[in-house]
Structure formats: C-alpha cells, structure tokens
A and B are shown apart, each in its own frame.
Chain A
Amino acid sequence: MSPDFSNVSLVILFPFLGFLVQALFGKAIIDTLGTKIGRTVCGALAVLPIFASFLIGLGLTGQLANLGEESRSAIVTFFDWITLKSISIPFELRVDPLSMTMVLIITGIGSLIHLYAMGYMSDERDYARFFTYMNLFVTAMLILVLGNNLVLTFMGWEGVGLCSYLLIGFWYKDVANSKAANKAFIVNRIGDWGFTLGMFGIVVLMAANRGSLGITDSRWLSFDIILPYAHQILENHPAWATGIALLLFVGAMGKSAQYPLAIWLPDAMAGPTPVSALIHAATMVTSGIYLLTRMSEWFVASPLAMAVVAGVGALTALIGAITAFGQTDIKKVLAYSTVSQLGYMFIGCGVGAFYAGMFHVVTHAFFKALLFLGAGAVIHAMAHDQDMRNYGGLWKKVPITFWTMVAGWGAIAGIPWLFSGFWSKEAILGTAVNSENPYGFAGLTVGAWAGWVGFGVAFLTACYMTRMMILTFAGKEQRWRIAHAVEHAHDDHGHAHAADHHEDHAGHELSPIFFASTAEAEAEQLALQEDHHHHLDEHHEPHEVPPVMWMPLVVLAIFSLGWFGYLLYESPQFSLEHWLGFAHGHGEEGHHGPVSHTTLLLISAVTSLGGIALAFALYWKKLPEREGWDMAKWNPVQRFVGGRGIDITGFSLSVGNMLGSLSKAFDATIDFVVNGVGMVSKGLGGVGRLVQTGYVRAYALLMQIGVILLVGYVILTIMMRGMQ
C-alpha cells in the first residue's frame, strides 16, 4: 500500500485559486481597502497560495523520500481528459523525485519572488494584473512538471509561454515591450513545432509496436508507458530515435533559449525584474532541461542526438558568455549569462549526465534568481536606471543587496567549494570531458569538446560577472552624480535610454483607463509632481530596499553558498544523483575517464579565479575607457558584441531568414493549392456557363437532344435484344 499522494492536486489548485482571486477580486480589494493596505492584502493573497503549494510539496517530497528507491513514483489520475478510439490521455499527475524537485524550486523560489515583487511593484498601477499573470504562470509551470503525459506537459508548456508573453509585455503601452513579448512568443512557437512533431512521432512509434511489446494500455503519451518501453522500441529504430530526440530538443531549444532560438531571452528583459527572475532564472527556461531529463531514455538511444545537444549547449554557453561582455544594461548581462548557463545544463544532458543538468538547474535557480532580484534592488535604488556605467560605489549605499549579490556572484563564477555553483558546474564539466560518444572530431568526442569549451566559458563567466559587480558596486566614483551631465552628450547613451530603460514608467503612465481606480490615478498624479528622485542627478541618493525585498535576497543567498551544493552532490542522503535515480543508470559512464578528479578541480580553480583576477585587472581602476559612455571608444570586439552583435550577424539572422523563406514557400504552396481549387471549380463552372444562356430556345434544343439520345438508346437496346 503506497502512501496517498492525492494532495498533489492542491499543489496546482492553490496557485490557480490565487490566480482566480487576483483576476476577479484583485482590483476590488485594492479599491475597497485603499491603495496601500489593499496592495498589501492583494500581494499577500498572491504569495500565500504559492507558499502553501510549497509546504504541500515539501510534505509530498518527504513521503516520497520515505519510500524505497525503486518505488519512488506515483501516478494520481483525476479524470479522463481526452479519450479517442486509439489513444487516451487522462488528466494524471506524476509524483516522483524529478517532478517534486521541480515543484520545490518553482513554489519555493516562486514564493520568494512573489514576496519580493510585493515590494518591487508597489508603485505599479496594474498591481493585481501583475499578480494575476504571476500566479497563472506558476500554475502552468506546475502542470508542466507534474503532468504524467506529454500532452499535459505541453499544456503547461503553452501556459508558461502565454504567461511569459503577458508578463514580458506587461508595460504594453511601450511598443518595444510589446515587440519583445511578441518575439518571445513567436520564437517559442518554433520550438513548439518541434515538440508537437516529436509527440506525434512517439504516438506513431508506440502504436506501431504495441503488438510486439504486448502493451494493452492506450495511453501512448504517458510517461509510465513510454519510458519503460523506450529502449526496446528504439533499439531497432535508430533513425526514429534520432528524429524524435531532435524534435523534442527543438522544443527544448525554444523554451530554454538555445542558439539559434536564444534570441528571445535577452529581449525578454523588457518585463519587470521579478518576472525576469521567475521566468528567466528559476522556472520557464529550465523546462527544456526538465523535458530532456524526463525523456532521457529517448535521448540516450541516439548518440547523434546527444552529440547535437551537447554541441548546441556548448555553442550557446560560449556565445552567451561572449555577448555578456558587451552589455551595459545590468539585466542584459544577467540575461546573457542565463543563456550561457542554460548551455551548461544542455552540455550536462548531452553527455548523459542528466542529473548534473538538473543539479545545475537547482543551484542556478537559486543564484540566478538572487542575482536578478539583487539587480532589481539596485535598479530600485537607482531610480530605475539600468545602465551599469551610471552606478559605481554602490556597496556602501546598499550593503544588504551587495553582500547577498556577492554570494550569487561567487556561485556563478564557480569559486571552488565555497559556493553552490561550483559543485553543479563540476558535476557537468567533469562528466563532459570524460564522456563517451561515437561522434567527435580531432580526437575528442563532442561531449569532451563541450566540456573543454565549458571550462573556457567558466573563465569568461567569472570575468564578466566580476565586471558587472565592479561596475555596479565598486569604484570610488559615484558615477550617478556625473551621469546626468554626460547623459545627452553621446548618442549611444541616448539610444540606450530609449531602448533599454523600460522599467522607467511605473510612475509615469497616468492614463486611468486600465485597472487603475480614479483615486489611484490621482495619487499617481501627486506622486509625479513630487517625483524628483525618479531621475539620476547630483541629488540622487541610493537607498536600500525595504525588508520585503531584501528578505528573499538573504534566503536565496544562503542557498547559493557551498553547503547547498555539497549537500546535493556529495552527501549520501541528499545527493541529487541518487534522488533522481540516475545513480545506477547512464549517468555513470564518465566518472572514471582520462581526466582525473584532481586535474578537473585544478582547472576549475584556475578558470574561475583567473577570470576574476583578469576582471579585477581590467576593470578595477576607475571607469575604464572601454566602459565609457562613448561606445566609439570601446574596443571593436566589445562594440561588436555590445549591440546584439552575435545575435544579429550569427546564426539567428540566417536561421531567421531561412525560416522566413521557408514559411514564405510554405505560404506560397498553400496559396497555390487553395487558389488551384478555386481555379478548377471556376473552370468547370465556365464550361457549364456556356450552356446556361438563358435562351428558352437553347434549353428546348438541349432538352430535345437529350430526349433523342435517351430514346435512341432505348430503341437501340430493344433492337439488340431482338437480335439475340
């Protein structure tokens, strides 16, 4: 008798109820209780459901951990959802280590981010709308990870896509934001194309083989059916294995921003900062990794697909890291570093160390959420200016933000032992450089190449993250004091303001049309009149964020420290490798390869400390020339990657063009078919029209001819019969 896991429905239900409350009553609550209290209540009503889900998730995880290692998965079926003759897709949730790990990340970090957002968005007019989207997002993400079949996963997949669209375009009155939202949405649709085709392939393959495997169930897309049989089916169909794995990977590329589908993520920084933290650090972008890990049986069946995953991951990690150097917007740096870190996770999956990919998902969720929220706190302190060149010397002004962000910086830079990021990066790269795969070049397998590239990226990561920290917090100059004078002197800076400073309008949008009550609009009008601190000038004084915002930072910082990584990596009872059930599986293969553990550790220490040292050498003294306000004085490489150099000139553009011309050709084909059908019927009609003259005599003549033919035929038949 296995324990009862039916509580799992509450995990999804609570955020969904939160969403309904926000959507239906949020504005009413704010209107009745007044702006200040109303917003607090409203925000609390958004945070509590997520936190309740987190507590339930903890309970379920505890129950799961008490079970034997082999029986740690339960399926809770609620109702028949889609039932066709040959396929049935029930609404069933899966409780197993992988899904519960994701649930804990989503609800745990999600509730912290919601809490933070209560403070960050407190000036926001559309307060309830924001939390409506956020709660719906969490609901969709939970469906994604808890669904026991690919269709439910896909439902959540589309749900998070929708919510990310809504949240990125949250300040919809700004055309640039709407464009960014559209970009995210459309690029994700390209990925979904792959996902759906992959699902289709799985159904076809499963249905075709049910006889030989003796499957009586017709739930072709449920994980408890497709995973156990994956190996048996795919060993005879290598081409199918590669095809399906690659199609699913295309889906993962879209959601997890891998090149060439990475173009949407940096633009998605147009949304509010908590959104960036929630979607682009902790949850949505990791769903690609989740999918790969969940479907790992289908990926390991195809070495080619694994090589592609690792290769694309390495490429993404490299390009993301290089591009981060050219950014002056603090959130853009973090966005590109997210792209880069996602590349790491795919390297992990591509070399068969799925647990390592998930491990990095877990640690990255903490430290990247921390970095994003910290960046948000800085932006908050600096009156919504996102340009790092205008910061400087902030560490004395915002000490809590600074020290918590140091933890995040240490984690992402991979400082040995002390921070969690080191452990997960080690797990990935250590497996990668020793991985085995028939595909490779120059004597190394693709996975090993990816691993070595990963070490290079680790060096770059340490360097550009240090650059970000130095530009933001260090330096004796308080650059915001001089920023105002320089602001209009240089074109690129003006441009940066126009393009990147979307966070600027919380206090400026005054139209009371949407969501805002009249009282609120009036309050805002007043606020604007005395809104002097909303611009950077010599009078600006950065201030530390309120407790509701720094408390999540502290929690996240504690989890970014090394003990957390150690716990998940080395300790016997909390090791993710054992917990996720990969310890006896295919994750093992790289552990005793040619590169020893000590060597790896040495390389790792050199890369991260070397990167940090280089950054200090380059950026410590004042504001270096290459970071000056005049981009023309930058070195050419940095200028090149500073715009979206690599995005535009690299793969994205060519792939974008290719997809564009493909879709044009497709469009033309469809047009040809549709018009062709029209033309055929028109031609046939034209023939008919010749007879439909409207002349009575012509009709009469036709009738006579008909009668003559008919009578002639009858007479002929009779005559023939007579002759026989």
Chain B
Amino acid sequence: MIAFQVPVGYWLSLAVAMFAIGSAGVVIHRNPVVVFMCIELMLNSTNLAFLTMARYQITANQTDTLATQSSMHGQMMVIFVMAVAAAEVAVGLGIIMAIFRQRNQADVDDMSTMRL
C-alpha cells in the first residue's frame, strides 16, 4: 500500500481552492469557452475530492474489506463525472459553435434570452 504522505486536509483544500477558482471564473468570464473551462475546473475539483476520500478510506481502514470495496464508489463516480463532462462539453461546444456562426461572436451576456 502506498503510504499517505500528504495529509488529507491538503488535498481537500486544493479541491476547495480549485472549486472556488472555477466558480469565480464562471461568474466573471463572458467568453463561453472560458466559462466551459472553468466549469471543467470545478468538475475536476470535485473529482479530486472524490478520489481523495476514496484513497483515505483505504488507508484508514486497511483491514476492513467493506471499506476497500466502498472506496471503489468514489473512483467510479469520478469516471462517471468525466464521461458526463465530456458529453456536456461536446453538446455545449456544438451550441457555442452554432451561436458563433450566427453572430460571429459568442458572449454569454448576449444570450440573455434564448431567442436568437
């Protein structure tokens, strides 16, 4: 087993920081592509939190088979999140492309109504 050299709190703090940066980016930026990247950052921060906790489960209770098994839940969740994020980006980018073709620009504030 790999020893857990970096304390859990550090990983979680990193995840929180990434989430905060990401969400602030979503609010601040007007370019939809950048917004998407920020959302990606938030998703990744969540993934990091999931993974951290999964690893923590295993290291904390090495003798408990149940804990070993349930640690897999966190890792599975990460794979799901990545899959969904990929699908979301594919669809979202498609929409952004369509908008861009129509207007030659893509600004989230311009899309304050769904009407184009």
The A contact surface, by secondary structure, is helix
Give chain B interface residues in 22-52, CB to chain A under 8 Å.
23, 26-28, 30, 35
Indicate whether B113 reaches chain A with its CB closer than 8 angstroms.
Answer: yes
**A694 contacts B27, CB within 8 Å?**
no
Chain A contacts for B111, CB-based, 8 A? 696
Give chain A interface residues in 670-709, CB to chain B under 8 Å.
693-697, 700-701, 704
**B26 contacts A697, CB within 8 Å?**
yes
**B23 contacts A700, CB within 8 Å?**
yes
Chain A contacts for B95, CB-based, 8 A? none
**A697 contacts B113, CB within 8 Å?**
no
A-B contact pairs, 11 of them (CB 8 A): A694-B113, A695-B108, A695-B109, A695-B112, A696-B111, A697-B26, A697-B27, A697-B28, A700-B23, A700-B27, A701-B27
> What is the size category of the interface that chain B forms with chain A?
10 to 19
Instruction: Give Cα A619 to B71, complex, Å.
Output: 122
Tell me the minimal C-beta distance from B42 to chain A in angstroms. Answer: 10
Q: What does the 1/0 interface line of B96-110 toward A look like (CB < 8 Å)? A: 000000000000110
**B23 contacts A697, CB within 8 Å?**
no
Contacts A697-B27, A697-B35, A700-B23 known; 18 new A-B pairs at CB < 8 A: A693-B112, A694-B112, A695-B108, A695-B109, A695-B112, A696-B35, A696-B108, A696-B111, A697-B26, A697-B28, A697-B30, A697-B108, A697-B109, A700-B26, A700-B27, A701-B27, A704-B23, A704-B27
Instruction: Give Cα A694 to B110, complex, Å.
Output: 9
Instruction: Give Cα A428 to B35, complex, Å.
Output: 97
The 4 closest A-B pairs by CB, nearest first: A694-B112, A701-B27, A696-B108, A700-B26
Give chain A interface residues in 537-551, CB to chain B under 8 Å.
none
By beta carbon, the residue of chain A nearest B28 is A697
Footprint of A on B, CB under 8 Å? 23, 26-28, 30, 35, 108-109, 111-113
Footprint of B on A, CB under 8 Å? 693-697, 700-701, 704
Tell me the minimal C-beta distance from B112 to chain A in angstroms. Answer: 3
Tell me the minimal C-beta distance from A694 to chain B in angstroms. Answer: 3
Tell me the minimal C-beta distance from A178 to chain B in angstroms. Answer: 53
Tell me the minimal C-beta distance from B39 to chain A in angstroms. Answer: 9
Chain B contacts for A704, CB-based, 8 A? 23, 27
Instruction: Give Cα A693 to B108, complex, Å.
Output: 12
By beta carbon, the residue of chain B nearest A701 is B27
Tell me the minimal C-beta distance from A439 to chain B in angstroms. Answer: 75
Chain B contacts for A701, CB-based, 8 A? 27
Tell me the minimal C-beta distance from A705 to chain B in angstroms. Answer: 10
Tell me the minimal C-beta distance from A618 to chain B in angstroms. Answer: 88
Instruction: Give Cα A693 to B112, complex, Å.
Output: 7
Instruction: Give Cα A24 to B26, complex, Å.
Output: 77
Chain A contacts for B113, CB-based, 8 A? 694
Chain B contacts for A697, CB-based, 8 A? 26-28, 30, 35, 108-109
Tell me the minimal C-beta distance from A695 to chain B in angstroms. Answer: 5
Tell me the minimal C-beta distance from A69 to chain B in angstroms. Answer: 86
Chain B contacts for A693, CB-based, 8 A? 112
By beta carbon, the residue of chain B nearest A696 is B108
Among the interface residues A693, A694, A696, A704, which one has the most CB atoms of the partner chain B within 10 A? A696
By beta carbon, the residue of chain B nearest A698 is B27
Tell me the minimal C-beta distance from B86 to chain A in angstroms. Answer: 21
By beta carbon, the residue of chain A nearest B110 is A695
Tell me the minimal C-beta distance from A712 to chain B in angstroms. Answer: 14
Instruction: Give Cα A696 to B114, complex, Å.
Output: 11
By beta carbon, the residue of chain B nearest A693 is B112
Among the interface residues B28, B108, B112, which one has the most CB atoms of the partner chain A within 10 A? B112
By beta carbon, the residue of chain B nearest A694 is B112
Instruction: Give Cα A549 to B30, complex, Å.
Output: 96
Instruction: Give Cα A574 to B48, complex, Å.
Output: 110
Chain A contacts for B28, CB-based, 8 A? 697
By beta carbon, the residue of chain A nearest B108 is A696
Tell me the minimal C-beta distance from B61 to chain A in angstroms. Answer: 23
Instruction: Give Cα A695 to B26, complex, Å.
Output: 12
Chain B contacts for A695, CB-based, 8 A? 108-109, 112
Tell me the minimal C-beta distance from A703 to chain B in angstroms. Answer: 9
Chain A contacts for B26, CB-based, 8 A? 697, 700
